[in-house]
Amino acid sequence: MKAKLFTDGGSRGNPGPAAYGYVLEAEDGTVLDARGEAIGVATNNVAEYSALVAGLARAADIGVSELEVVSDSELLVKQMRGEYKVKNRALQELFIEASGLARRIHRVTYTAVRREHNELADSLVNEALDQAAL
């Protein structure tokens, strides 16, 4: 099964209260899963990677064999493609976890988009942050 995974993470302050969001869509645009979750205090990059890890895990669990990951984090996309080294220790652990999950899926590609092309995942992040602040 082919699918697209839209991921986003954010923090209010860097570090600060953080959350991630992902939307997993089938080829025809049907939403297979969507989730937003607060993760406590973290950096923006940790939140971005947390979204990727959660989304990859869900995609692998439901048997996705070909996945396009869409993210507005150029750093994450370039690190997952192997274009940038992962120097930050917290990100190294998440990178290793994401890489292991990606191996459970036959083929994974990574695409960087501008923030406005990732609206649903972005809104899930903000909803989770708003809920956590209550």
Q: What is the pLDDT of residues 55-77, one digit of tens each?
A: 999 999 999 999 999 999 999 99
Does residue 15 have a cis bond before it (omega within 30 degrees)? yes
Q: What is the pLDDT of residue 134?
A: 77
- Alpha helix positions (H), the chain: 44-61, 74-80, 89-103, 119-133
Which structural domain, as residue segments, surrounds residue 99? 2-133
Task: Output the domain CATH number for residue 29.
Answer: 3.30.420.10
Q: What is the pLDDT of residues 114-123, one digit of tens each?
A: 988 999 999 9
Q: Work out how many domains the chain is built from and give that number.
A: 1
The helix-helix angle for 44-61 and 89-103 (nearest 10°) equals 20
Confidence at residue 94, expressed as pLDDT on a 0 to 100 scale: 98
Buried b (16+ CB within 10 A) or exposed e, 66-94: ebbbbbbbebbbebbeeeeebebeebeeb
% of residues, the chain, pLDDT over 70: 100
Query: Six-digit token pair at 81?
Result: 């493609």
